Amino acid sequence: MRSNDIKDGMEKMPNRALLYGTGLHKNHLSRPFIGIASSFTDLVPGHIGMRNLERYIERGIENGGGAPFIFGVPAICDGIAMGHSGMKQSLPSRELIADIIESICSAHALDGVVLLTNCDKITPGMIMGALRINIPMIVVTAGPMLAGHFGKKRLSLVRATFEAVGRFKSGQIKEKERQILEIEACPTCGSCQGLYTANTMACLSESMGISLPYCATTPAVLNRKTRIAYESGQKIVNLVKKNVTPRTIINKKSLENAILVDMALGGSSNTVLHLMAIANEAKVDLNLNDFDRISNETYHISDLRPGGEYFMEDLDYAGGIPGVLKRFLNSINDNITVSGKKIKQIAKSASIYDEDIIRPLTNPCHKKGGLAVLYGNLSPEGCIVKQSAVDKKMLKFSGKAYVFDSEETAMNAILSGKVKKGMVIVIRYEGPSGGPGMREMLSPTSALVGLGLHKDVALITDGRFSGGTRGPCIGHVSPEAASGGLIAYIKTGDNITIDIPNRKIEVNLSKSEIKNRKETIQILAPKINSGYLYRYSRMVTSAATGAVFKN
């Protein structure tokens, strides 16, 4: 066992003394040392229920013959960080979390680790760290939040709050209704109710085989979640004894399964960043072409929010991720999982209880997957759009650019009525390096929906979008403005063409005009010159490669 490095031999007497100082019993020294990396915090609704799950994971580890140790990992709520400078910290926190997992597990010679996580960057960050040191791990996602209610109407965070800002500004709702929506939109603990980034990453973790079946969709408040936590504690000890490391599970086959499920469900565009970052740590070659290829081959079969009408709890009751995998039994790659079963065995034994929510392949929502990768002179390295959340008439769109150098200035223009039908809003200098931190832009995209402009206005950015975004919003434009991408040289009034079916994005400028602009327009100076974000801006790679740190 790795933990023998800190507990075996006469020379380790001081180490053992300190371990006894934690209250450890002598009998524990012969057991595998199992870490529980918990992102519990009072700051995030998706994480406030984790104290109970920690207890049940501990029980499972003890029952399985291991010695459990809880340690903390930071968590940022993207919804609370949204719309201000705090969002710059969100994506960079993924790299910090990976480093924390690597540091703690290595320093204390842990034999295995349970990753208790839930929200956007925490889940991929933890997985990246465990892959880096390649010790046995299992992921327990704390579960989605239940729907809120306004009478018989079910509420989700994005529509009931972010999009309601625009509806309130335009006079569609009154102050009394606004107050009710604000207080009732998030009625329980858990990750936000739709297929936003947190729940998408939970679904993809299960699809990769690193979470137990039904973990992703089981609501946070159900007792079933505590049983999954308990069983995960038992399973990790077995994984350690059999030396089943994450790189034996996370390979090209399992990553392709995750992409397939992402496309089938219409998941968040952020998963492109996260799966490529996970692949980087797993030493697997994964690129944007893999996403677009699988999207073209995969039917979108579940009409979940934000683009659709169903909630995560509906997906759970309909059959969860095993039910989705069952629909694609002939397409998924067989691979081992932390459950001890192979992924096709899990899919074969699954039941589907609602064919409106997990549709048969003969009746899909769309005959293409949820995401599309666009290329053109505006983004030669590729950019991402959640095509399943785009109105049919906006799949092809041409309009005049309205250019902003920050999210805040764009948001002010939208809410003050300066954005008109037919425009293409361009928000630049919000990429991984230029932001720095590649902020999500749920506030402006939701305001457009609330104002009823999402069927007449497009938005492109070198930043990124929340999993809750809907409408023709194209993110991850690469190269970004700060790296000299063409997006840095666009001017208000330039004509931009977006063609999602044909995977094209172009600005109508001649080569001579582009050359002239590059000679006369200067790239903006960095926005931040100190601290972690400054170091991040100098180390981070393009969004087209997952926005990981340079080797």
Q: What is the pLDDT of residues 206-231, one digit of tens each?
A: 999 999 999 999 999 999 999 999 99
β-bridge pairing 112-117 and 137-141: parallel
Domains and CATH numbers, the chain: 31-146+188-348 (3.40.50.2300), 150-184 (no CATH), 372-545 (3.50.30.80)
What's the rounded mean pLDDT across residues 409-421? 95
Residue 471 has what pLDDT? 87
Residue 468 has what pLDDT? 82
Q: Spell out the residues 6+ positions from residue 72 whose beta carbon is closer than 8 angstroms to its own.
A: 38, 39, 40
For residues 457 and 470, the answer to whether their CB atoms sit within 8 Å is no
Residue 215 has what pLDDT? 98
Residue 551 has pLDDT above 90, yes or no: no
Q: What are the helix and strand counts (H, E) for the chain?
A: 22, 14
Q: How far is CA 156 from CA 42, 187, 294, 317, 470, in A?
A: 21, 10, 29, 17, 14
Residue 520 has what pLDDT? 97
Residue 421 has what pLDDT? 96
Spatial distance between the Cα atoms of 458 and 396, rounded to a whole number of angstroms: 10
β-bridge pairing 473-478 and 382-385: antiparallel
Spatial distance between the Cα atoms of 21 and 181, rounded to a whole number of angstroms: 50
Residue 186 has what pLDDT? 98
Closest CA relative to residue 340, chosen from 203, 136, 200:
136
Q: Indicate which residue of 191, 466, 478, 537 is catalytic.
A: 466
Residues 151-165: pLDDT tens digits?
A: 999 999 999 999 999
Residue 127 pLDDT grade (very low, low, confident, very high; cuts 50, 70, 90): very high
Taking all residues of the chain, what is their mean pLDDT, rounded to a whole number? 97
Q: Which residue type, as a one-letter code, is found at position 338?
A: V
Spatial distance between the Cα atoms of 293 and 417, rounded to a whole number of angstroms: 39
Residue 418 has what pLDDT? 96
Q: Determine whether 30 is an active site residue.
A: no
Residues 503-548: pLDDT tens digits?
A: 999 999 999 999 999 999 999 999 999 999 999 999 999 999 999 9
Residue 467 pLDDT grade (very low, low, confident, very high; cuts 50, 70, 90): confident
Residue 466 pLDDT grade (very low, low, confident, very high; cuts 50, 70, 90): confident
Residues 242-298: pLDDT tens digits?
A: 999 999 999 999 999 999 999 999 999 999 999 999 999 999 999 999 999 999 999
Token pair, residue 409, equals 């200035």
Residue 83 has what pLDDT? 86
- How many C-alpha atoms does 403 have within 13 Å on its Cβ side? 17
Spatial distance between the Cα atoms of 144 and 133, rounded to a whole number of angstroms: 29
Spatial distance between the Cα atoms of 403 and 428, rounded to a whole number of angstroms: 8
Start-to-end CA distance of the chain, whole Å, equals 30
Residues 481-506: pLDDT tens digits?
A: 999 999 999 999 999 999 999 999 99
Residues 45-58: pLDDT tens digits?
A: 999 999 999 999 99
HEC profile for 272-291? HHHHHHHHHHHCCCCCHHHH
Residues 300-359: pLDDT tens digits?
A: 999 999 989 999 999 999 999 999 999 999 999 999 999 999 999 999 999 999 999 999
Q: Spell out the residues 6+ positions from residue 187 whose beta carbon is closer than 8 angstroms to its own.
A: 145, 146, 147, 148, 149
Residue 145 has what pLDDT? 98
For residues 347 and 331, the answer to whether their CB atoms sit within 8 Å is no
